[in-house]
Amino acid sequence: METTSLLPLLILGSSLIPGVLILLLREDQSALRSFLNLFGAVAKVSLIAWVFAGYLRGEEYTFIFRLAPQLTFALQVDQLGLFFATLSSVLWLVTTLYAIGYLEGGQHRRRFFAFFSLCITASTGIALSGNVVTFFIFYEFLTLATYPLVVHLGTDKAVNAGRTYLWYTIGGGTVLFLGVVGLYVLAGPVYFGQTEIIASLISENAPQLTILFFVFLAGLGVKAAIFPLHSWLPISMVAPAPVSALLHAVAVVKAGAFGIIRLVYDVYGIGVAEQMNLLTPLAVLAAFTILYGSIRALFQDDFKKRLAYSTVSQVSYIALGVAIPGVLASAGAIVHLVHQGIMKITMFFAAGSVAETYGHYKISELNGIGRRMPLTMGAFTTAVFGMIGLPPIAGFVSKWYLGLGAVEAGSYWVVLVLLGSSALNAAYFLPIVYRAWFCEPDHERVSRIRSGRLETRALLLIPVVVTGLFSLAAGVFAALAGSPLSIAREIAEKFYLL
Amino acid sequence: MTDLPTSPFPALLVGLPILVATLSLFFRPRGKAVVGLMGCLLTGGLGLIALVEVMQQGTVIHILGGWDPPLGILLRMDSLAAVFIGMTAVVGVFISLYAWWFFRAREATNGGFPLFWPLWLFLWAGLNGLFLSNDLFNLFVTIEVIGMSAVALAVLSGKTAAQIAGLRYLLAAITGSMAYLFGVALIYGSTGTLDLGLLRQVLEPGATTTFALLVITLGLMIKMAGFPFHFWLPPAHSSALAPVSALLSALVVKGAFYILLRLWMEVFGVSITFSAGQLIGLAGAIAVIWGSWQAFMQTSLKLIVAHSSVAQLGYLLMIFPLLILAPGVAAGSADWLSPAWTAGVYQVMAHAFAKASFFLSAGIIIMALGHDHKGSLRDLASRMPMTVMAIGIAGVSLIGLPPSGGFFAKWMLLKGIFLSGQWWWAPVVLAGSFLTAGYVFMLLRLAFATAREKEPFRPVPKGLEVCALLLALGSFLIVLPAEYLIQFLESSEAFGSGIQSIMEGGTYGND
Amino acid sequence: METYQIYILTSAVLFVIGMGGVFMARHFIKKIIATIIMGGGVFLCFVSFAQRDALTFADPVPHALVITGIVVAVASAAFALALARRIYQLTGEESFTNDK
């Protein structure tokens, strides 16, 4: 911890600086803006790769700035943080490409891309936070950076959605603040990984620690969209598709889920959490959210809304995995961070492309869309199969590990929840796939944007194909070293060694 | 006391603005503005140099004219005074620059309000004098100077609403001063001295002291618009000209708080009791909730901002109960004091920067649109992005989201709350943040919404927007030197002795 | 009861009357007069302390303070009167109408 490195700061700067610069540009300088954006995105991915390589060689990267006595702003690099940072930065690169294509000719693009960059800064900040305070700082920063994106369209609907979004997230943030200060007063500055601090307090302050745990959970649960704190997520659907991708896959819900992982494994420690019986309520809540989200999704005709309820359900897999003690379930939870991200981003990209190209927003309008946009819908279908849990796609791997973990821990009811959820997933996703490929297209709507011989603009097509391939590859190559799964297993094993 | 190093800065900090203000009276309107702005820049620069001097040398003093106290006046600049003077310098310079452009832009239509400059310089002299005073009576004189110039500035616009609000403000100010002075008279009667340092040593707990403290606190609470004496603030602050509103809310009300903090920490440590602290904290807590709620209900921008001041000042009152431990909590060390104390200072600074920026932005919007009904904010984000940014950043600091100065203040406040065992204040702090988020985002939401109809829109000088934005950023930048600043504040002799007397007082109060 | 204590009690009574007047009265001039009464109470209090234990000579400090205080009080009262007159000219009103 003695060595100080500016690299973590540089990783944040790689999106913060372009963000600020973009704000200073004129609205019509779109080429320069795109260049800054992509430069930042590529730089971030490379920096993270560099740091990851260094970390594997055993180097430490820590940046510490003391704000006040015992109140430090700390960035540090560990495997879990890097894992999340890699996910965010890679998906950000893809989303940036997609957003450039999606918003071509739109209004207020300067503002959009500036806050887009700030948003990912917050997300990587969350990943690299070294202690609870820093995590909280970026967690709130994320709320603020996403708000202008949610209300981007400026319509009454968007503005109202923004209001709901804020009430929930600011409320969650306020509760989290209470937890952070409470923990600070009780245990001093807690760095992630220092689980021995809480362990040493357990004999004296058990009731306080229990209360604090649930205060934290309430604060984090808002962003992780755990029932009953999930309502903001479907409402925020009015935002443009790249923003939805960001909310659902890259940054916001992930920040909540990642926070829960940190809370259980790196602050309390799995041993303490289990000993204090903190996990059962979380497991029950997560399981309920999984089923609840899926059932609500069944009844949505709006394409993006159905996807949103699906997110509510899918993200709770992570919380569920965390709540089941055992290496396998933990690995399933951690790897689902990535798997859910790449599958859901594929879906949102596809939904956005369809809406942008043909103006279809409802599922009932999607008849025959697969024939018109085969690559887009092909990627979408891959993601659907993954979500349902068919091998060999990414989602299957997560579910398999979660299931094995549940059996290992003796929680057989969890297996039932997983099976039920898979059935529900199939019930709400397969009709879309069926309509897209097997129904005759309605011939009234033929107006569309054409871009050469491609089915839609190249910048809308490439990202969706890439993420579709990711979801396939993450499943097929799960057994290889360096796959998300193998890294997640390593991370999980370390938690249980302590 | 007199063995401290002597420095000319305390005298200059008070003398120079008075001199320039008097001088500027002899100029024509245009010249008044030029001389005034020069004076402001000089005074601001001087304030910052003085801050650096105290950082290097420690506490410095100046005996005016060589006449020793009690008939002469001794000015004393310790770290607390230096921080307040530095803050006034930075905020003051930005507001002055803003005022320069603001009045120039309005000169053709409304006249340039040349009297703003001498009045503002008198006000500045009063503020510096207040921070440097070392005896109770000097504090009275300086706070009167501040009060009179503040009211004169508040009525400067000449509008009827401003006159009525100004009279109400003036009456409240006089009542507050008289209550304060009554307490001072009682203290002088029972001890025979007014010197803060001496009082700390000779003051004994008793009925007279308690009553004097009560009257003094009451008077100062009227002056700083503490609940339930906040009624004068919203009309006065919202009806004034934009730079004046910024001055009134950012700096003027802080003067009374400064005296209150000094007296509670430094002088009256022996006689403050747990229940007295709880009472003043309760007033603060109600102000936080009530003020935020009122702000949420307003329809014009300046009234929202003015009511928000009531709430933000409530947080300042909430530090006073934290100076005394809850019964049953062991007083092992003075750990709990430092957070409460620094929370107050940081809240002052964060609010000064953020609220000044907020009022300046409101002035820009009024200048551009001709009115400040909150509905007019629609679609402002695309037309005046810099101003919306300033409102956003300042608003974030008011809410107390990280990593702003407001966040730091609330962090310290919550820490003090838990460490002193008074957890019941915590929900108030959080509810206040939540309500603040309500009205700040109500404004931002409108700024992002598309306009229903295009309103006439006049462009404003860029300099105005830059001033507002820089002040807003200032409310974040003050966090960076936090560790150093806290150590600097704790090095103050007053703080050390304050801890001691409060430790004694704390046990006294609990017995 | 010593003489100076009678003075102090009187000053307290004056102060309370003044303070009550400021809050209760509605007419501008009445409010302003009330602040002057408050001031009178405070100054009396100061001056009475000067006489208290001075067997040989009076304490000069309170006198100096009171003179300064009176100057300040006169100035504020004049300012308040000027404002009140201005409001009367502008609106024709002599008291706060929407008094809260």
DSSP secondary structure of B211-239? HHHHHHHHHHHHHTT-TTS-TTHHHHHHH
B401, B412, B415 member nearest A144 (Cβ): B401
pLDDT interval class at A372 (50, 70, 90): confident
Name the closest residue on chain A to residue B481, using Cα atoms: A67
Is the CATH number 1.10.287.3510 carried by domain C3-91? Answer: yes
Q: What is the dihedral of CA B31, B36, B41, B43, to 10 degrees?
A: 140
Decide if A251 contacts A123 (C-beta within 8 A): yes
State whether residue A57 is helix, strand or coil.
coil
Domain boundary among A277, A307, A326: A277
**CA angle (B464 as vertex; B458, B465 as ends), nearest 5:** 85
**C52 contact B CB<8A:** yes
Please choose, from the candidates B440, B461, B447, B281, the residue with its C-alpha nearest in 3D space to the C-alpha of residue B363.
B461
What residues of A are in contact with residue B403 (Cβ under 8 Å)? 67, 73, 137, 141
Closest CA to A305 of A221, A382, A361, A364: A361
Comparing CA positions, the residue from A478, A494, A458 lying closest to residue A100 is: A458
CB contact under 8 A, C76 and B175: no
B296 touches chain A (CB under 8 A): no
pLDDT band at B125 (very low <50, low <70, confident <90, very high): very high
Ordered by start, the domain boundaries in chain B are 1-134, 160-510
Q: Higher-confidence residue: A451 or A463?
A: A463
pLDDT of residue B146: 95
Residue B85 near residue B13 (C-beta atoms within 8 A) = yes
Are A and C close enough to touch, i.e. 3+ CB pairs under 8 angstroms? no
Count how many domains chain A has: 2
Same domain (yes/no): A77, A166: yes
Instruction: Give me the interface pTM, i.e. the ipTM.
Output: 0.93
**CB contact (8 A) between residue A73 and residue B403:** yes
DSSP A445-459: ------BTTBSS-HH
A73 touches B at CB < 8 Å: yes
Over residues A114-136, the pLDDT tens digits come to 888 999 999 999 999 988 989 99
Question: What residues in chain B have their Cβ under 8 A from chain C's Cβ atoms?
Answer: 70-71, 137, 140-141, 144, 147-148, 151-152, 155, 160, 163-164, 166-168, 170-171, 173-175, 177-179, 181-182, 185-186, 188-189, 192, 194, 231
Query: Residue C49 is encoded by which pair of tokens?
Result: 């302390």
Identify whether residues A342 and A260 lie together within a single domain. no
Asked whether residue A136 falls in the same domain as residue A85, the answer is yes
Mutate to test the interface with C, among B144, B156, B164, B208 (most CBs of C within 10 A): B164
The amino acid at A43: A
What is the C-alpha to C-alpha distance for residues A414 and A421, in angstroms, rounded to an integer? 10
pLDDT per position as a tens digit, A323-341: 988 889 999 999 998 899 8
Give me the mean pLDDT over the B292-312 stretch.
91
Domain boundaries, chain C: 3-91
A181, A309: one domain: no
Residue-number span of the structural domain to which A397 is assigned? 281-498
The phi-psi region of residue A188 (left if phi > 0; otherwise alpha if psi is between -120 and 50; otherwise beta) is: left
Per-residue pLDDT reduced to its tens digit, A158-216: 888 888 898 899 889 989 998 998 888 888 888 888 888 888 888 888 888 899 999 99
- pLDDT of B236 > 60? The answer is yes
Would an 8 Å CB–CB cutoff place A177 in contact with chain B? yes
> pLDDT at position B348, please?
94
Of A224, A258, A277, the one marking the end of a domain is A277
Mutate to test the interface with B, among C26, C83, C95 (most CBs of B within 10 A): C83
Taking Cα atoms as reference points, which of A127, A14, A9 lies closest to residue A62? A9
* Judgement on whether residues A355 and A471 belong to the same structural domain of the protein: yes
> pLDDT band for position B164 (50/70/90)?
very high
- pLDDT of residue B196 exceeding 90: no
Distance in Å, alpha carbon of B188 to nearest chain A alpha carbon: 40
Do A199 and A323 belong together in one domain?
Answer: no
Residues 2-21, chain C, touching B (beta carbon < 8 A): 8, 11, 15, 18-19
Of the candidates B391, B390, B276, which has an alpha carbon nearest to the alpha carbon of residue B322?
B276
A345 with A362, same domain?
Answer: yes
pLDDT at A447: 54
Closest residue in chain C to residue B154, using alpha carbons only: C83
Whether B446 and B374 have beta carbons less than 8 Å apart is answered as: yes
Bond before B339 cis per omega within 30 degrees = no
**Does the reported pTM lie above 0.90?**
no
Of B70, B170, B181, the CB nearest to C83: B170
- Same domain for A436 and A487? yes
Contact B418 A66 (CB under 8 A): no
Confidence of residue B509 (pLDDT cuts 50, 70, 90): very low
